[in-house]
Structure 1
Amino acid sequence: MITIAEKLKNPVWHSLNETHNKFLVPFEGVQFYDPKISNFGAFFDTTKTAEALTAYAELTEDFFLISENSVPLIDDKTILLEKKIEGCQMVLENLTDIKITENIVLLTAQSIDEIYDLIWLVMPGFYRKQGFKMGHYFGIYKDDKLVAITGQRMQTDDFIEISGVVTHPSYTRRGFAQQLIAHTTKEILKKNKLPILHTNKGNTAIPLYEKLGYKITRDMNWWHYRKK
């Protein structure tokens, strides 16, 4: 039996083996999401990554491999490394109870375009519109428009990742992100699963996550590739 501690070391791999198995695009030693859902992949054996990346590049122009410390091998005739994003994994220790004053709603498929537009406005480059199918999304509406959201991304039988934490630039500094993360965390805990999240090192939001009870536990790097 694989422990949650082991799954957290390679969250994409185990998400695709469990909750998100229906989105799996498998290669020998490497696993990717269906690129309509997400362009993330994972591996255990670096000797298998070059061939798999070249094959997956026929399905999507750019994509990521996520790893704690392993360095993927690539075929530089077919694949270009855009950049390595140095990130970290954060895991909930004890949720800090905060007052929820906003009306937080569970978003439906009717909001899929609004979610996509807001994420790409604030954090362009990775989110796919059908990523909505990976988990629940929650939002806050102001002035008849969606202005802040949180979503759920990687999932196994043991944990759920909080992602897509974005607020429209015109509505920041109102505590929306804090309340949405707290709300989403509680929803995950109701399922008896461990809330986790990932972010890049040095992100100014890290103190907010720590204030809510999350702790940095390990590196989690994002290798961004593009088809040549």
Structure 2
Amino acid sequence: MIDLNQQLKNPVWYALQETHKKFAITFNGVQFYKPEICTFGSFFDEAKTTKPASEYSKMSDTFFFVSEHQTPEIDLTKVRLVKKIDGCQMVLNTLTDVSITEDIVMLDETHVDEIYDLIWLVMPGFYQKRTFEMGKYFGIFKDGKLVSVAGQRMQTNLFTEVSAVVTHPNYTRKGLAKQLISHVTKVILKENKKPILHTNKGNLAIALYEKLGYELTRDMNWWLYSKN
């Protein structure tokens, strides 16, 4: 079995090898999620990414390669780099105790549209409607409206990623995200997995994640491409 440290160096790859195998599309040693689920791709050898990137661009107008240090190679006549997002990976050390004062609801298929609309309002670009199928999602409602959400994205038998942590702009600074992150983290721990998350370098939320017990561990960069 591949150990946890090795899996965390290439989380998309190993998620598609294990828990999310049913969502995998493989092109000559390069793996992608089915685009209706998530537009992430993974690889070990950047010399092999050129043709798969071109092929996947026929399925999704935009997509990401996720890597720690490697730079994908692409055919510039078919695919163009939109931007490189300098990201980082954080791994839970010891969860800080958080008082849960909100009613946290496990979301289901009836909430798919609400989840999508809220995430795209706050953090557009990463989430597809069927991303919901990658893991469990939880939310907080106010006056019958979903105002804060957090869920699970990439996962294997050893780790699960906390993701899609967003709060409606009208409800920020009330501790909703903190309670949701704590709740999702506890759910992961009960499954005997290591909670992880990814974010942009310099994100102000890093301070919150650190207060909850997460530690910065490595770079994890998102290369965003678009079909020419």
Fold shared per TM-score above 0.5: yes
In 2: Cα distance, 1:125 partner to 1:38 partner: 10
Q: Which residue of 2 aligns with 1:13?
A: 13
The residue correspondences of 1:35-184 to structure 2 (distance < 5 A) are 35-184=35-184
The TM-score, its normalising length taken from structure 1, stands at 0.99
Structure 1 residue 105: deviation in Å? 0.6
Does 2:189 match 1:197? no
Structure 1 residue 90: deviation in Å? 0.1
1:28 maps to a residue whose letter is N
Structure 1 residue 6: deviation in Å? 0.2
Q: Which residue of 2 aligns with 1:32?
A: 32
Structure 1's unaligned 5+ residue stretches are: none
Q: Which residue of 1 aligns with 2:4?
A: 4
1:104 maps to a residue whose letter is I
SS in 2 for 1:164: strand
SS in 2 for 1:209: helix
1:101-135 superposed Cα distances (whole Å, 9 cap, x missing partner)? 00001001000000000000000112100000000
In 1: Cα distance, 2:72 partner to 2:130 partner: 27
In 2: Cα distance, 1:171 partner to 1:147 partner: 7
In 2: Cα distance, 1:128 partner to 1:41 partner: 15
In 2: Cα distance, 1:124 partner to 1:197 partner: 18
SS in 1 for 2:96: coil
Structure 2's unaligned 5+ residue stretches are: none
In 1: Cα distance, 2:220 partner to 2:177 partner: 22
1:63 maps to a residue whose letter is F
SS in 2 for 1:37: coil
Structure 1 residue 15: deviation in Å? 0.0
In 2: Cα distance, 1:7 partner to 1:125 partner: 25
Structure 1 residue 158: deviation in Å? 0.1
Structure 1 residue 143: deviation in Å? 1.1
Structure 1 residue 138: deviation in Å? 0.2
SS in 1 for 2:95: coil
In 2: Cα distance, 1:22 partner to 1:129 partner: 17
The TM-score, its normalising length taken from structure 2, stands at 0.99
SS in 2 for 1:13: helix
1:171-223 superposed Cα distances (whole Å, 9 cap, x missing partner)? 00000000000000000000000000000000000000000000000000000
SS in 2 for 1:53: helix
